[in-house]
Structure 1
Amino acid sequence: MTKHLNLLVGGPSELWPDTLKLNQVTGDWLGIDRGNLYLLNMGITPLVAIGDFDSLTSSEFNLVSQSVKDIRKSIPEKDDTDTQLGLKIAIDEYHADRVDIYGATGGRIDHLLSNLWLVLEPRFKKYVSKIRIIDRQNTINYFLPGEYIIEKEPGKKYLGFVLMTPVENFNIDDAKYTLKNFNGNYPFSFASNEFIKDTVSFSFDQGIVCVIQSKDN
């Protein structure tokens, strides 16, 4: 049986997708720092509460402590971010087949970049295809070398291909803008591509590629 876990990070709630605001996201949850408080306020009890909880007042942390059985409190001065700790628990302890991360965009840019680059860490690399970052305007998927067909999400007009690492023989087919046998040795974003039908095909032989389906606000 597929194990689907969601992580809620403490980013701005105004950037959540409507499915999250309406509490329509399926799967169990891990709460990351202030994300635990958001979940509890929606009537969702996370399996694990993770973080240094430096963004919570003492009364807010008491509420989390009384509501969640498994509290993983870390010290603020640590090597891993709270989101890294949450992803590690989702993969190593719960063996999740899919990890969707919400609340990971907006706010501080250093936090945003840290979350976007999680998949580049050697310990997470083999799980790249299991990880998504989702917000109000974007769905971010990551891919290892191979051949893929992706389906257009409802309401998402734009399609971006971001080369996270050097890539070899990168191809985009069936999109508004196609690409053939591209080799690149530094990160680059092929932005503002579009679907011309319900699917787009792409392939590459080396590297990590991030695919973003997005819409205007």
Structure 2
Amino acid sequence: MQSEKVVIVVGGDQTDVAALVHRYSASHRLVGADRGALTLAGLLADFDAAIGDFDSVTPAEMEEIKKKSRICRVLPAQKDETDTEAAIAYAIETFNPEEIILLGAFGGRLDHLMSNLWLAFHPLLQGMAGKISLMDRHNSLRFYMPGSYVLEKEADKKYLSFIGMTPIKKLTLTGVAYPLHGKDYDYPIALVSNEFEENGMRFSFESGLLAVIQSTDKRK
């Protein structure tokens, strides 16, 4: 099966979603999870799939989602997986993705945000190190399993942070303002507000799960 790139719009803060959807609409498959599907229906003439229980949309909104989505899967309200997890499972099954970008994953309800962050531990995403990201206009977050990586600076981002989701062993950072050389952390730790020295940097670690965030300050 050919690998494709996928954007999944979920039901968090939709403030920055429109601009990012239009940025990726020509290059990525588009899937809406629950109210994220309503956002896509309001932005596009059609999109690939809508997945969710849709308990937060009106009947008129549901008709609009069905009209705009090529595939619409309505899930039971009482289920073991979240709508986001179901949308990711659909994307993996259907598109064999080389990249998954979640939009609308930040903001909104705090429990939804934590659920989205804990996707890093989900069995669905094993083997997708560095291929799944949570993004809005000011932040991009990717999860990494142990290994060595080269990271390019995003042109519109200033800060670079490394968040240990677990204890981390032998973390090395080079090409940044605050380098590290084989540092161990026995508990999850947030190493924030580092910066690229040039347009790229390298990092590596031997065990644990790492979230890497590029970000910039919000301006009014």
Q: Are the counterparts in 2 of residues 17 and 135 from structure 1 also a CA contact under 8 Å?
A: no
Deviations 1:76-125 (CA, angstroms, capped at 9, x unpaired): 22111111111111112321111111011101111011111102123322
Cα distance, 1:92–1:166 mapped onto 2, change above 3 Å: farther
Name the CA distance, whole Å, in 1 between partners of 2:85 and 2:49: 14
Q: How far 1:17 sits from its partner (Å)?
A: 7.3
SS in 2 for 1:127: coil
SS in 2 for 1:129: coil
Query: Where does residue 67 of structure 2 map in the other structure?
Result: 66
Q: Deviation above 4 Å: which 4+ runs of structure 1? A: none
Query: Where does residue 187 of structure 2 map in the other structure?
Result: 186
Q: How far 1:13 sits from its partner (Å)?
A: 1.9
Name the CA distance, whole Å, in 2 between partners of 1:117 and 1:166: 15
Deviations 1:35-87 (CA, angstroms, capped at 9, x unpaired): 11111111242222100101111110122123323211112221111111111
Deviations 1:169-216 (CA, angstroms, capped at 9, x unpaired): 111111111112112232211011111211111110111111100000
Deviations 1:130-184 (CA, angstroms, capped at 9, x unpaired): 2111101101111111111111111211000011122211111111111121122
TM-score normalised by L of structure 2: 0.92
Q: Are the counterparts in 2 of residues 17 and 137 from structure 1 also a CA contact under 8 Å?
A: no
Cα distance, 1:101–1:70 mapped onto 2, change above 3 Å: same
- Tell me the number of residue pairs that the alignment of Structure 1 and Structure 2 aligns: 215
Query: Where does residue 24 of structure 1 map in the other structure?
Result: 23
Which range moved further: 76-85 or 61-70? 61-70
Query: Where does residue 197 of structure 2 map in the other structure?
Result: 196
Unpaired segments ≥5 residues, structure 1: none
Equivalent AA in structure 2 for residue 186 of structure 1:
Y
Equivalent AA in structure 1 for residue 164 of structure 2:
L
Percent of aligned pairs sharing the same letter: 35
Equivalent AA in structure 2 for residue 172 of structure 1:
L
1:197-212 correspondence to structure 2 within 5 Å: 197-212=198-213
Query: Where does residue 126 of structure 1 map in the other structure?
Result: 127
Q: Are the counterparts in 1 of residues 174 and 202 from structure 2 also a CA contact under 8 Å?
A: yes
Query: Where does residue 170 of structure 2 map in the other structure?
Result: 169
SS in 1 for 2:15: helix
1:84-163 correspondence to structure 2 within 5 Å: 84-163=85-164
Name the CA distance, whole Å, in 2 between partners of 1:18 and 1:83: 21
Q: Are the counterparts in 1 of residues 41 and 69 from structure 2 also a CA contact under 8 Å?
A: no
Cα distance, 1:127–1:14 mapped onto 2, change above 3 Å: same
- RMSD between aligned residues: 1.5
Name the CA distance, whole Å, in 1 between partners of 2:44 and 2:121: 34
Q: Are the counterparts in 2 of residues 17 and 134 from structure 1 also a CA contact under 8 Å?
A: no
Cα distance, 1:44–1:138 mapped onto 2, change above 3 Å: farther
Unpaired segments ≥5 residues, structure 2: none
Name the CA distance, whole Å, in 2 between partners of 1:18 and 1:177: 33
Q: Are the counterparts in 1 of residues 175 and 197 from structure 2 also a CA contact under 8 Å?
A: yes
Cα distance, 1:44–1:27 mapped onto 2, change above 3 Å: farther
Name the CA distance, whole Å, in 2 between partners of 1:73 and 1:50: 6
Name the CA distance, whole Å, in 2 between partners of 1:69 and 1:3: 17
Equivalent AA in structure 1 for residue 216 of structure 2:
K
